[in-house]
């Protein structure tokens, strides 16, 4: 059967004579999708680094900046389910290519808002476009990992991929701070947009699905297929003559009525308050409340991001170790979340020191904790119904987007009303503690939720009978 699977590759001969003999093509693909996620995170953060200069030049108050920060999350939230469906329909290669080129163009155009009659409205529209066009990234890259990586390598691949959001801030924030200081805030968007267009071209030239990639050796293809990689995922729908269907309303209703999943979704909304603070208001906090220059703030902001990356990678090893020691998913997932988010709550201590060095240390600890407690996607993999993993993931992502919508506006309102960031840090701290409470008071035991077809109903109504939910004990 492997020979038949390799047939779709253009130019392949039955003997594979002259084909590459390497065994690591999948890691090149992993580097590509990691770069895509890193750039998408960097483009989200462009406005936060540009904000001090942009708000000064365009006369935008903190509440107005809060609304601009939230624009991305509005369209990102609304785009989750449609994006998942689109990725299943057209495949990851085309979805990422057009999304990457489109959002990079939106970023590039933001550099010219000063030349239009309504610059604030132009920024808002472009940020809405950015959120809509970035919404396919996570489902598409998850599909790439499933297609290219066998079951026993997906955990590591996923951890490396997820670390891109932290590495992005560590790499791009100093670059954007440098551009702000020496060239002006407009060139943050020019350079980041140009990098995205270059990456889109590289993606077009380099990426193919495993069954079509001419650089993939037969040896590696057979190896990853035998170990569980879904190497023909891109062509599954066409192969069976069918098309993906949109998630059913009944399925979504069942998911939203399950207490365990509601707790997980609510916790993700709360955790998003911390993520959104770092990706939106943190550079402004350093400049306005702690009196760093923008150049200094760019480099200082990279330190918590590095710590978040270390926390995100280490928690996977710690959680898996706990699972081996205890045999309990509940302990293995809840305790890293509790420890990590408990450490993140220390962010409020910044309100009680005037020493900037201590503030930086606290922020590094808080972001390390955020990374260490960020097991949400792992918990979704543990709990989502096998028939609705994509839909459950989309709802989980949407819950985080709600936090991304509310938090920037709330913080902007707090700063406008009080003239201080102290209330903003307290707001973030309380949300993080609420996430911990949700895991212990709402989620309960972590186990897979299964959607079943009621056989009695099927007998009278056919295969489209009502869905019943139950929990699979593990």
* 108 vs 247: which has the higher pLDDT: 108
Beta bridge partners of 271: none
Q: How far apart are alpha carbons 180 and 238 in whole angstroms?
A: 48
pLDDT band at 234 (very low <50, low <70, confident <90, very high): low
DSSP state of 349: G
- Nearest partner of 268 among 79, 407, 154, 158, judged by Cα: 407
Kindly report, as residue ranges, where domains of CATH 1.20.1250.20 are found in the chain. Answer: 23-223, 246-446
Contact 100, 32 (CB under 8 A): no
Alpha carbon distances (Å) from 425 to 241, 308, 312? 54, 18, 22
Rounded Cα gap, residues 463 and 76, in angstroms: 34
CB 446 within 8 A of CB 333: yes
Residue 419: Cβ within 10 Å count: 10
Between residues 350 and 468, which one has the greater pLDDT?
Answer: 350
Alpha-carbon span 386 to 452, nearest angstrom = 11
Q: What is the per-residue pLDDT for 457? A: 40
Under 8 Å between Cβ of 404 and 79: no
pLDDT of residue 128: 93
Q: CATH classification of 246-446, choosing from 3.30.470.10, 1.10.1040.10, 3.40.630.10, 1.20.1250.20?
A: 1.20.1250.20
CATH topology of domain 23-223: Growth Hormone; Chain: A; (1.20.1250)
* DSSP single-letter state for residue 247: P
CA distance to 44, 134, 181, 226, per residue, from 276 (Å)? 10, 16, 24, 41
pTM of the model: 0.72
Structure letter (DSSP) for residue 445: S
Cα(189)–Cα(183) distance, integer angstroms: 11
Q: Express the helix, strand and coil content of the chain in percent, nearest 5 each.
A: 75, 5, 20
Q: How far is CA 49 from CA 172, 208, 252, in A?
A: 10, 35, 37
**Most confident residue range from 66-75, 135-144, 204-213, 260-269:** 260-269
Read out DSSP for 92-128?
Answer: HHHHHHHHHHHHHHHHHHHTTGGGSS-HHHHHHHHHH
Query: What value does the mean pLDDT of the chain take?
Result: 81
CA 257 to CA 425: how far, in whole Å? 32
The model's pLDDT over 320-332, given as tens digits with 9 standing for 90+, comes to 788 888 988 899 8
The model's pLDDT over 53-93, given as tens digits with 9 standing for 90+, comes to: 888 888 888 888 888 888 888 888 888 778 777 776 777 88
pLDDT at 160: 76
Mean pLDDT comparison of 67-76, 178-187, 250-259, 419-428, highest-scoring range: 419-428
State yes or no: pLDDT of 458 exceeds 70: no
Q: What is the DSSP letter of 152?
A: G
Name residue 448's beta-bridge partners.
472
Whole-angstrom distance, CA of residue 219 vs CA of residue 22: 8
**CB-based contacts of 392, cutoff 8 Å, min separation 6:** 255, 261, 380, 383, 384, 385
Query: In the prediction, which pLDDT does 18 show?
Result: 45
Residues near 54 by beta carbon (within 8 Å), at least 6 away in sequence: 47, 60, 123, 185
Q: Are 217 and 228 in contact (CB under 8 A)?
A: no
Higher pLDDT, 363 or 209: 363
Instruction: Give the Cα separation of 50 and 176 in Å (integer).
Output: 8
Please state the rounded mean pLDDT for residues 288-303.
85
With 80 as the cut, is the pLDDT of residue 242 above it? Answer: no
């Amino acid at each position: 059967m492997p020979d038949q699977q390799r047939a779709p590759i253009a130019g392949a001969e039955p003997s594979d004579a002259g084909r590459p003999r390497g065994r690591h093509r999948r890691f090149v693909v992993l580097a590509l999708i990691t770069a895509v996620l890193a750039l998408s995170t960097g483009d989200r953060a462009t406005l936060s680094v540009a904000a001090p200069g942009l708000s000064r030049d365009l006369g935008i108050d903190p509440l107005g900046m809060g609304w601009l920060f939230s624009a991305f999350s509005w369209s990102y939230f609304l785009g989750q389910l449609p994006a998942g469906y689109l990725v299943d329909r057209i495949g990851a290669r085309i979805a990422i290519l057009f999304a990457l080129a489109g959002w990079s163009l939106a970023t590039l155009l933001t550099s010219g808002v000063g030349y239009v009659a309504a610059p604030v409205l132009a920024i808002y529209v472009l940020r809405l476009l950015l959120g809509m066009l970035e919404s396919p990234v996570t489902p598409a890259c998850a599909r790439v990992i499933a297609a290219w990586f066998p079951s026993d390598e997906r955990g590591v691949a996923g951890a490396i991929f997820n670390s891109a959001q932290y590495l992005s801030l560590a790499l791009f924030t100093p670059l954007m701070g440098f551009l702000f200081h020496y060239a002006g805030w407009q060139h943050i968007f020019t350079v980041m947009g140009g990098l995205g267009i270059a990456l889109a071209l590289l993606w077009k030239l380099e990426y193919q699905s495993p069954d079509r990639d001419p650089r993939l050796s037969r040896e590696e293809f057979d190896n990853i297929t035998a170990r569980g990689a879904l190497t023909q995922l891109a062509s599954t729908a066409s192969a069976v003559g069918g098309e993906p269907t949109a998630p059913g309303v009944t399925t979504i209703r069942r998911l939203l009525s399950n207490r365990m999943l509601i707790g997980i979704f609510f916790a993700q909304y709360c955790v998003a308050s911390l993520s959104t603070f770092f990706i939106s208001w943190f550079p402004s906090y350093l400049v306005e409340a702690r009196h760093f220059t923008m150049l200094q703030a760019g480099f200082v902001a990279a330190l918590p991001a590095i710590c978040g990356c270390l926390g995100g990678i280490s928690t996977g090893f710690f959680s898996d170790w706990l699972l081996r020691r205890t045999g309990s998913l509940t302990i293995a997932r809840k305790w890293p979340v509790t420890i990590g988010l408990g450490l993140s709550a220390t962010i409020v201590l910044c309100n009680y020191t005037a020493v900037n060095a201590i503030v930086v240390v606290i922020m590094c600890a808080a972001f390390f904790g955020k990374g260490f407690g960020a097991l949400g996607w792992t918990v979704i993999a543990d709990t989502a119904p096998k028939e609705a993993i994509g839909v459950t993931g989309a709802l989980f992502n949407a819950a985080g987007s709600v936090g991304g919508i509310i938090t920037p506006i709330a913080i902007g309102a707090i700063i406008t009303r009080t003239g201080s960031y102290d209330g903003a840090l307290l707001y973030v701290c309380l949300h993080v503690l609420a996430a911990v409470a949700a895991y212990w008071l709402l989620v309960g035991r972590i186990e897979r939720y299964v959607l079943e077809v009621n056989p009695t109903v099927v007998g009278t109504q056919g295969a489209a009978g009502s869905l019943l939910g139950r929990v699979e004990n593990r």
